[in-house]
A = this chain, B = another copy of it.
Amino acid sequence: MPNKLLPPSGPGRPKDLAKRQAILDAAKTLFLRNGYDGSSMDAIAAEAGVSKLTVYSHFTDKETLFSAAVKAKCEEQLPELFFELADGVSIDSVLLNIGRGFHTLINSRESVELHRVMVTQGSQDPKLSRMFYEAGPQQLLSEMERLLSKADAAGQLCIADVHGAADQFFCLIKGGANFRLLIGCGEPLEGAAAEQHVQDVVAMFVRAYLPAQGGC
């Protein structure tokens, strides 16, 4: 006969989820800050405030916990950029808004850490890198392609290869500064410098794809 009533000492099912979430939060923090090899299961357990075996009871092994942490981070980082091209609004201002949002995103500490981890671990686990790519960059590229196609159809831009152009736009926003940030050499552009960079990129991009006077 099982005893149903042990509120103070009984473990209970509800506690399960709270600890699982604490473990996942700790894993996200430590894995991104110190990498896969640099984060021990002991450290994650301590950060989460539980014992190491509790970690193993919720996630079978280190790799499983790592994948879960990366997946959670991907989902919470996917930004809400606006890719709509309403009537009467210039393509310049739309690209400016997208550029600002994307630039802020990829220069954030969390994004840089996630990218570092993906470079290190993703190259060893194709499933992981594919999961990350489809959850993040792929989404943005697809929406940008849609936007550029509409701008081309509306005659605001003249783009033969929308896929390539979308790729170019994001690469330009990233710029060499983001690469330096990734290898830990230099500080992120902020404030006026960041705004200037985005404006320069948008101006250069639009100039390259401006329709000729005769049309497209």
On chain B, the residues within 8 Å of A120 by CB distance are 35, 116, 119-120
What is the bound-complex CA distance between A179 and B137, given in angstroms? 10
Distance between Cα atoms of A3 and B39 in the complex (Å): 54
List the B side residues contacting A179 at CB < 8 Å. 137
Do A168 and B172 touch (CB < 8 A)?
yes
Chain B residues with CB under 8 A of A91:
none
Known: A200-B164, A204-B168. A126 touches B176 (CB 8 A): no
- Shortest A71–chain B CB gap in Å is 15
A171 at the interface (CB under 8 A from B): yes
- Chain B residues with Cβ under 8 A from A172's Cβ? 168, 171-172
Cα of A179 to Cα of B182 in the assembled complex, Å: 12
Q: Please name the residue on chain B nearest to A116 by beta carbon.
A: B119
Whether the Cβ atoms of A175 and B185 lie closer than 8 Å is: no
- What chain B residues lie within 8 Å of A184 (beta carbons)? 122-126, 129
Question: Is A31 part of the contact surface with B, judged by Cβ < 8 Å?
Answer: no
Q: Is the CB of A129 within 8 A of B168?
A: no
The digit string for A156-170, where 1 denotes a CB below 8 A from any CB of B, is 000001001101101
The 8 closest A-B CB pairs, nearest first, are: A123-B184, A208-B208, A129-B185, A122-B183, A37-B37, A167-B176, A119-B119, A129-B183
The interface of chain A, by Cβ under 8 A from chain B, is 35, 37-38, 115-116, 118-120, 122-126, 129-130, 132-133, 137, 141, 161, 164-165, 167-168, 170-172, 174-177, 179-180, 182-185, 197, 200-201, 204-205, 207-209
24 residue pairs bridging A and B, Cβ less than 8 Å apart: A35-B120, A37-B38, A116-B120, A119-B183, A122-B183, A123-B182, A123-B183, A124-B184, A129-B184, A130-B185, A132-B183, A132-B185, A133-B180, A133-B183, A137-B176, A141-B176, A168-B172, A168-B204, A171-B171, A171-B172, A171-B175, A171-B176, A172-B172, A207-B207
9 A-B pairs besides A165-B204, A170-B176, A172-B172 with CB distance below 8 A are A37-B37, A116-B123, A119-B120, A123-B184, A129-B184, A130-B185, A132-B185, A137-B176, A171-B172
